[in-house]
């Protein structure tokens, strides 16, 4: 569990600890949530299931440091209270790390807050917003967290399959740049077949 939480803070939250320390002075400011699109009429049941993280971009990411970043998968399971159990699995050779979190519904459908936030030392707030999805092929998700008085943000490109078209990737790059990020902040993780959780 401790390892799982570590992975969570390292990977899911988009802030490699060393980078957080090193890049502190020049973090690109996180956009206000109101400026980030929200999928209209979000259907939480249809969004369930497994998504591959095909692309990642964030103000604490650096493409060069993460050139060997392995793909991971995230599975959303809806509870009766409209929260999600969110299980992420790093796909890598010999070992499968997985970690579980809860996303609690927030103000509008498609907006969530991290559950049990007190379990994650240093995290003051953590919000999730579904930017756009067609439910059966692709999704873009915006994550923002306040951690030790700094704001980190990240957008992920989810695919129901490990590969997405160049057009969908370009669309993701355009969106990341509209939020102030640059090519250096955008990563396309390496697909890896060695470890697949069903
Ligand atoms: C979510 O996780 C809780 C706690 O582990 C579990 O009791 C519940 O059954 C899970 N919900 C789903 C839909 O799998």
Residue 198: per-residue pLDDT: 38
pTM: 0.84
Alpha carbon of 79 to ligand 1 centroid (Å):
7
Residue 193: per-residue pLDDT: 64
Distance, in Å, from the CA atom of 42 to the CA atom of 47, rounded to the nearest integer, reads: 8
- CB-count burial class (<10 Å; 0-12, 13-18, 19+) for 143: buried
Residue nearest to atom 4 of ligand 1 (CA): 85
For the stretch 36-80, pLDDT in tens is 999 999 999 999 999 999 999 999 988 887 777 788 899 999 999
Domains of the chain: 33-39+48-187 (2.40.128.20)
Angle at 137 between CA 135 and CA 142, to 5 degrees: 65
Among 85, 100, 104, residue to substitute to test ligand 1 (most atoms within 8 Å of Cβ): 85
Give which of 95, 99, 94, 93 is closest to 73, Cα–Cα: 99
For the stretch 122-151, pLDDT in tens is 999 999 999 999 999 999 999 999 999 999
Alpha carbon of 82 to ligand 1 centroid (Å):
12
Instruction: Work out which ligand 1 atom sits closest to the CA atom of 78.
Output: 13
The number of angstroms, rounded, from the C-alpha of 115 to the middle of its chain's C-alpha atoms is: 15
Binding site membership of 79 for ligand 1 (Cβ less than 6 Å): yes
């Amino acid at each position: 569990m401790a390892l799982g939480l570590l992975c969570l803070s390292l990977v899911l939250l988009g802030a490699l600890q060393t980078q957080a320390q090193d890049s502190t002075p020049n973090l690109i400011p996180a956009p206000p949530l109101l400026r980030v699109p929200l999928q209209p009429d979000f259907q939480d049941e249809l969004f369930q299931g497994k998504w591959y993280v095909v692309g990642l971009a964030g103000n604490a990411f650096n493409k060069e440091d993460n050139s060997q970043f392995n793909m991971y998968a995230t599975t959303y399971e809806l509870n009766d209270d409209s929260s999600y159990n969110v299980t992420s699995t790093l796909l890598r050779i010999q070992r499968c790390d997985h970690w579980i979190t809860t996303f609690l519904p927030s103000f509008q459908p498609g907006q969530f807050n991290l559950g049990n936030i007190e379990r994650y030392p240093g995290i003051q707030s953590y919000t999730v917003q579904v930017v756009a999805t067609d439910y059966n092929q692709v999704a873009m998700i915006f994550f923002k967290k306040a951690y030790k008085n700094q704001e980190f943000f990240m957008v992920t490109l989810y695919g129901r399959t490990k590969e997405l078209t160049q057009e969908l990737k370009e669309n993701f790059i355009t969106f990341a740049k509209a939020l102030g990020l640059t090519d250096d902040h955008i990563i396309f993780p390496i697909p890896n077949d060695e470890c697949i959780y069903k």
